[in-house]
Amino acid sequence: MARRTTYHTLLGRLEKRLFSLEEGALLPSEQSLADELHTSKPTLRIALAELAERGVIRKINGVGSMVVRKDRTLSREIVFLCHDIRFFAETLEAFGGQCAENNYFSSIVSLHGDSLSQERIIDTAAKRKPSGILVYADPRHLELNAYTRLVSSGIPLVFLMRLPKNTEGSLLAFDNAAGIAGLVGKLYRSGCKRIALYGDADVNPLAAAERTNGYLEGLRKCRLRPKKKYICRSAKDRDTFAALFRKKKTAPDAVCCLNDVCAGNLIARLTKDGADLSEIRFSGFDNLPLARFIPQPLWTVHPPMRKLGTEAARMLIRSIENPGFRPVCQKLPVEIRRTKPFAKG
């Protein structure tokens, strides 16, 4: 029996090949088709037999295989349940492209609303019995019972960034903590000793916690002690934190912001207060397009959003085509980049 990965990949390529032919057309000889698709004749015959059983082709003794019905649809569907479609836009695009390349139809489903609404969306997706499901769960609703039902359904699954509570499965993520720790190290090597942490925007609370841990780990690696006055993550601390920048002796040398929006907000406020920021370094996270409009140069973490999509599709398709494929956990590396503000005028 052919390996399932080879067989399912071959079946998808055959479906694509048949779509280029008209009804009534004859397929090339088995040997020619096997050579074209880089497979063995026994494996090809298994795939052709399934297509014949589905009524797509018909075997004619002494003639070959003829296209009976031109299937205009992709028979295999993968669903992407995504809580934050805007943030994962590049991921969605890359995921859909990789699925199509492997002859899968991808459906994007927005995972929004309260816990009851999300339960119903998850259960509805599972009821459709797709070939596989990719999930980016709402960080506020990781405890939903629907995830337990989804895992027990037997549908191949891959989760992005975090696993829901009390579940097991394949996980693909980029490393929030390592990104911030890398920024702290870069700032330290550039001569900064007083490195602060700032957050004020609507940051995913779990991502904020991971990035805060990365900041603390970065300080530890640089043998720097965290100081309470240099950590600002709540509204009640913002005025006190901003006051540090009024004097050079109390101002930090650098500020790690939880994301690019936080960096822009902080720089705007300090500029309005008249603070001298010429010698202070700032960093953000996410490498958003808006970072180019921040007047200060910014070190920022660039997450691999496009690669996240292609790797998620590959991981999920491996699970679909290998029922014995064990759950894996993979973290993609991030890059640290320097933004260049747009020139004025």
For the chain, the domains span: 4-67, 77-168+305-332, 176-303
Q: What is the pLDDT of residue 8?
A: 67
- C-alpha distances (whole Å) from 291 to each of 153, 205, 259, 309 are 43, 21, 10, 23
Torsion of CA 27, 29, 31, 34, to 10 degrees: 0
Q: Which two tokens stand for residue 322?
A: 């290998």
Please tell me whether residue 293 adopts helix, strand or coil conformation. Answer: helix
DSSP track, 35-68? HHTT--HHHHHHHHHHHHHTTSEEEETTTEEEE-
Average pLDDT over residues 119-137: 95
Q: Are 185 and 283 in contact (CB under 8 A)?
A: no
Q: Which amino acid would we find at residue 121?
A: I
Residues 6+ apart with CB under 8 A from 224: 188, 193, 195
Alpha-carbon span 142 to 166, nearest angstrom: 9
Entry field: residues in the chain: 345
Q: Are 24 and 67 in contact (CB under 8 A)?
A: yes
Q: pLDDT band for position 210 (50/70/90)? A: very high
Per the model's pLDDT, the better-predicted residue between 21 and 156 turns out to be: 156
- The per-residue pLDDT of the chain, averaged, comes to 90
Q: pLDDT band for position 179 (50/70/90)? A: very high
Alpha-carbon span 45 to 53, nearest angstrom: 12
Q: What are the pLDDT digits (tens) for 214-262? A: 999 999 999 999 999 999 999 999 999 999 999 999 999 999 999 999 9
CATH fold label, 176-303:
Rossmann fold (3.40.50)
Same fold, 77-168+305-332 and 176-303: yes
Residues 6+ apart with CB under 8 A from 173: 160, 161, 162, 330, 331, 332
Q: Which two tokens stand for residue 108?
A: 């994007």
Q: What are the pLDDT digits (tens) for 27-38? A: 888 888 888 888
User: Which of the listed CATH numbers 3.10.20.30, 1.10.10.10, 3.90.1150.10, 3.40.50.300 matches domain 4-67?
Assistant: 1.10.10.10
pLDDT reading at 41 higher than 70: yes
What class, spelled out in words, does domain 77-168+305-332 have in CATH?
A: alpha beta
Average pLDDT over residues 62-85: 81
Average pLDDT over residues 16-30: 81
Q: What is the pLDDT of residue 73?
A: 55
Of 35-39, 170-174, 200-204, 293-297, least confident by mean pLDDT is: 200-204
Average pLDDT over residues 160-182: 95
Predicted model pTM: 0.80
Residues 6+ apart with CB under 8 A from 254: 187, 192, 194, 195, 196, 280, 281, 282, 283
Average pLDDT over residues 266-290: 93
Q: Give the whole-number percent of the chain exceeding pLDDT 70.
A: 94
Rg of the chain taking only CA atoms, in angstroms = 26
